[in-house]
Structure formats: C-alpha cells, structure tokens
Amino acid sequence: MDKLRVGVAGLGFGGEFVPIYKEYEKAECVAVCRRSEKELNEFADQQGIEKRYTSLDDMIADPDIDAIHINTALLDHAPQAIKALKAGKHVASTVPMGMTLEECKAIVEAEEESGKNYMMMETSIYTREFLYFKKMYDAGECGRMQMMRGSHQQNMSLPGWPEYWYGMPPMWYPTHAIAPLSEIIRKPIRQVRGVGSGRIREEYAEKYGSPFAAESVQMYFKDSDVAGEVTRTLFDTIRQYRESFDFYGSEKSFEWEQCVDEGPVIFTGYEDAEHIHVPDTDYLLPDEIKHFTLKNQIIDDQHVSFIQGSGHGGSHPHLVQEFVTSCLEGRKPHVSAKVAANWNVAGILGHESCLRGGEIIDMPEWTLFED
C-alpha cells in the first residue's frame, strides 16, 4: 500500500484527527462514522468526506477501509477494537484500551491472531513536554534516572458527562499518568501497590463500589532499580486540570508547571532552577502535517485561532504518523497491544490494590512487553 485508508469512528474528539489524515500524504480518511445522522452529515460536508456510516459494524465491513480509528464512548473501546481486528482491520484506539483485564488480554490476543496492528493513541508520550525531556534524557544530560512521578487530576463532579463516568475508580482511566514513566525508561511495569485516599459522595461511591477521591499507585519496573508513583483524581477533589510528569535525574531534573502557562522547571547544579519555554515539535514531522503541532495561530494582534487537530500538547500528528507508518511498514506500532495492556492493567490492578489495603500485586506475564 502507498496509503493507509482510514475510517474514523466518533467525531467529537475523533473529529480532531480527520484533518490530519486528510493532509498526511501517506493516509486517506475515506469514511467517518457517527450515530447521529444529522451531526454526521454536517461534519462530513464540512470535511468533504463522501462515505458516511451511522453503524460502526457497517464501516468495519467496508472492504475499501484498511484501518479503523476508534474515538467512541469509553466502555465501547475494547469490544469495537476486537471486532475490527477480527475483521482484518488495523485499529487505532483512544484511551483507555479496556476496562477489565479480560478485555485487555482479548485485544492482545486479537492483534496477534489477526496479524494486524493495534495502537493505543496515548497522547502523553507525544506532547511537547515529553518529547523535549526525552531528547534531553536520551542525550545523557540528566545522568541517572532516580525517581519518577505522574499525575492526572480532574474534577468531573459537575453534570454533563456521560452517566458511566460518575463514581468511576480513578485508576480505571490511568494511562495519561502512567505512560510517560514507563516510556521514558522503556520498561514494563512488573508490580503495583495502591493507596486510596478520601471519600467521594455516596451516590458516586455506590455505582462501582469505589469510595476513594484519590488513588496513588507505586510501580516497580522490570529490570530496573527506578520506581515510579502516579496519582489520579476524578471527583470531589479541587485542583486545576493537570496531566503531568516529574522526572528526577542525578544531573538534571524536570518538574511540570504548577499552574497553566507558568512553564515547567529544569533543575541543575545543586539546587538551581529555571522556568523554561518548551518549543513545538514540528521539526519531527513531514511538512504537510507539521503545522498541527502549533499551539495556536495568530490571525492578527487581537485574535488567536486554535488549529483543529493540534490538541493534547501537539501530540495528534505524531500519533497519526506512527500509526500510519507502522501499518505501511509492516511493523508493530510503538504503543502496541502489549504495551497498551501493561499501562492499562497497571491502573486496573492499582485500584484493586487500593481496595486490598495496599497489597502488592504482580502484573500478568502477558503484559510484560519487550522492545
């Protein structure tokens, strides 16, 4: 194949990726899918997409589509990914991979049996901040990695979210906090130990049998003396939204900004600290899609226009490039099913450890990926 022909399912968040697929010379967005026919047609007319589906099953059955990009409701990701893989389609899926160990394992098995690619489109490892630090770390500037922390804090207590969200255990949606830690040392998590803290309102707690307002999980990595800790909040805990990581090395360390637009901090020397500006990552991308990394576009002195597709720290075009090229080159994507399973299952078992009072739990063998 010269181009990967992609069908995008779910046009809320998923709509951000359609312009990137359209402009990337190695891909085509040949179809879109949304349950609401009116909203489907409005979006497809705007983007100039001819093939339109209100049924994902019908889009999966289309022989002219090579890959399905899933951006649907949280609980649907795993069943839809499994169905598409078994139908012989490559699959890109937004997070999380699945809600149970059984779902994650089924995707690992379906990827292997089908010979097709599954890629979890984890934004946190393609942000400006992560790629900035990774370049520094890979060059040896940070010395020995000594400690890692991640967090994803959000307060979803206000009405307006889909009902399934309310009361969900924080660590069931874990990967934005976990992925940067595993990825920077490129080691799988081998053990987890969780601690739950606080209590959410009773009507939330009853839904999933999960009382905790915050969950923190310590993680031990295979073949590494470095440990990590991640914290997640979803309800009844006040903080400005944050997806963050902190990395501490023997020569340099990186801490996420405390408040939006404050800038992250690099620590050097003994205790020297400097707020930094993290540049865009357009230089890593082909010319036709590099503009999707830009934070915004100045129209004039008074107006700023945000570029569709440039969200999540400029990560979206990097995700598209990796998914498309991995399929065309016949190799596993960087966040393959096994890698995705490791990051997702660490959260699921981390929550289980919280319920068991901090018991250490071993990760399943089928999640211990190797490069």
Same domain membership, residue 116 and residue 61: yes
**Strand boundaries in the chain, DSSP class E:** 4-9, 27-33, 51-53, 67-70, 90-93, 118-120, 145-153, 189-197, 214-221, 227-233, 242-249, 253-255, 265-268, 272-275, 297-298, 304-305, 361-362
What would the pLDDT profile of 292-350 be if each residue is shown by its tens digit? Answer: 998 665 555 555 555 676 789 999 999 999 999 999 999 999 999 999 999 999 999 99
- Is residue 15 domain-resident? yes
Q: Domain tally for the chain?
A: 2
| Residue 240, domain CATH | 3.30.360.10
What would the pLDDT profile of 99-147 be if each residue is shown by its tens digit? Answer: 999 999 999 999 999 999 999 999 999 999 999 999 999 999 999 999 9
Q: How far is CA 313 from CA 33, 127, 130, 160, 257, in A?
A: 26, 4, 9, 25, 14
Residue 53 in 3-state DSSP?
Answer: strand
| Residue 106, domain CATH | 3.40.50.720
Give 191-247 as a DSSP string. Answer: EEEEEEES---HHHHHHHT---SEEEEEEEETT-S-EEEEEEE-SS-----EEEEEE
Q: Which of 64, 90, 123 is the last residue of a domain?
A: 123
| Cα 335 to the center of its chain, rounded Å | 10
What's the predicted TM-score (pTM) here?
A: 0.96
Predicted confidence band at 1 (pLDDT cuts at 50, 70, 90)?
confident
* Residue showing tokens 């085509």: 28
- Is residue 324 domain-resident? no
**What is residue 303's predicted lDDT score, i.e. its pLDDT?**
53
- Is residue 300 domain-resident? yes
Same domain membership, residue 198 and residue 94: no
